[in-house]
Amino acid sequence: MTKPPGAQGDPSGGPGEPRSDRWSDLGRPPLNSAALRRALVREGGHGGLYCDVEVVQRTGSTNHDLVQLALKGDAEEGAVLVAEEQTAGRGRLDRVWTAPPRSGLFFSVLLKPTEVPVRHWGWLPLLTGVAVATGLSRAAGVDTALKWPNDLLVTVGGEERKAGGILAERAGSEGVVIGIGINVSLREEELPVPAAGSLALAGAVSTDRDPLLRAVLRSLEEWYGRWREAGGDPSASGLQETYAAGCATLGRTVRAELPGDRSVVGEAVAVDGDGRLVIATEDGVQEPVGAGDIVHLRPV
Ligand code: BT5
């Protein structure tokens, strides 16, 4: 992968890189890009998913950069771009993702599931949610849940809080860039919005970002491999069932805020074969929702 224009430096101090603020926050050491590459990148074009792991000190948005590289033909399937700091982190629908430098993991992965029918590609962000939740519960020892479609929730003082978000963007015909933001060591006073949380606030046994990133990327590789082998079929790959088991939205009374100022209130009863949330309304209608924001109202 070519280095994205506008991105600055390898924070672990590659040749010729500025190292001045490398250890400026001792509680938040930099990622070790060489060790990450050694652990994750496939050798000689065989085996695993990842072809390159690039860590930059600072950029606007890793999703923006990786989409641009993919469109120019400068990034392959399995390219991973990680930033220690994002100055214009993106959420869905033009929203923003903000977090202090090195307080979390901010990264993007390019996927090209060419042999999977495009109608199944909508599962990629849900698949990523499952992979992130599985990887983090292994490596951080924190219970996580998914809020449909793909917010990662942790429990802080008995409250559900958002500790991670996922943004999938098409890179033209070049594939899909999956962006992942995870709050690792954010303290209460650093949270960008009151509904946010972090692994540290949820009592994580480890907030060492290198093993957390490795665990999440390995888990993504596993789930992506399983899904591709099943031709993208969410049921045959076990994805639909695993997603439902980890989804805190199911069984809850929710309000779905839909595009065009419409909303639907009811019980979230299922995630269907297209990854849509099925809401049973009071009038006995089962309404599948494919896009929108969900508010968890109360347990049923
Ligand atoms: C998301 O959007 O949650 C997707 C976030 C994806 C971020 C990653 S970081 C690496 C990659 N590069 C990028 O530029 N983006 C991706 P959405 O569901 O729209 O939620 C956005 C909303 O979450 C904001 O409007 C805030 O309310 C809230 N928010 C912003 N920063 C947050 C944080 N650090 N923790 C929790 N909530 C946050």
Which residue has the CA at smallest separation from atom 27 of ligand 1? 193
Residue 7 has a pLDDT of: 85
Which residue has the CA at smallest separation from atom 31 of ligand 1? 97
CA of 90 to the centre of ligand 1 (A): 6
Residue 22 has a pLDDT of: 47
Residue 10 has pLDDT above 70, yes or no: no
CATH architecture of 21-244: 2-Layer Sandwich (3.30)
pLDDT tens-digit readout, 146-179: 999 989 999 999 999 999 999 999 999 989 999 9
**Where, residue-wise, is CATH 2.30.30.100 in the chain?**
249-296
CA of 52 to the centre of ligand 1 (A): 24
Residue 25 has a pLDDT of: 65
CA of 277 to the centre of ligand 1 (A): 21
163-169, Cβ contacts within 8 angstroms, sequence gap of 24 or more: 163/196, 163/197, 163/198, 163/199, 163/202, 164/132, 164/136, 165/91, 165/97, 166/125, 166/128, 166/129, 166/132, 167/63, 167/90, 167/91, 167/92, 167/97, 167/125, 168/124, 168/125, 168/128, 169/63, 169/67
> Residue 32 burial (CB < 10 Å; 0-12/13-18/19+)?
middle
Q: Which of 97, 124, 166, 183 gets mutated to test ligand 1 (max ligand atoms within 8 A of its CB)?
A: 97
- Measured from the CB, is residue 91 less than 6 Å from ligand 1? yes
Indicate the SS3 state at residue 194.
Answer: coil
**Where, residue-wise, is CATH 3.30.930.10 in the chain?**
21-244
Stretch among 36-45, 72-81, 184-193 having the lowest mean pLDDT: 36-45
- Measured from the CB, is residue 100 less than 6 Å from ligand 1? no
Residue matched to tokens 């076990």: 238
Nearest ligand 1 atom to alpha carbon 99? 34
Which residue has the CA at smallest separation from atom 25 of ligand 1? 95
- Percent above pLDDT 70 for the chain: 93
- Measured from the CB, is residue 106 less than 6 Å from ligand 1? yes
Domain 249-296 has CATH 2.30.30.100: yes
277-281, Cβ contacts within 8 angstroms, sequence gap of 24 or more: 277/148, 277/149, 277/249, 279/254
Distance CA 142, CA 155 (A): 9
pLDDT tens-digit readout, 76-132: 999 999 999 999 999 998 899 999 999 999 999 999 999 999 999 999 999 999 999
pLDDT tens-digit readout, 12-30: 544 444 444 444 566 899 9
- Measured from the CB, is residue 108 less than 6 Å from ligand 1? yes
pLDDT tens-digit readout, 208-237: 999 999 999 999 999 999 999 999 999 999
In this prediction the pTM is: 0.94
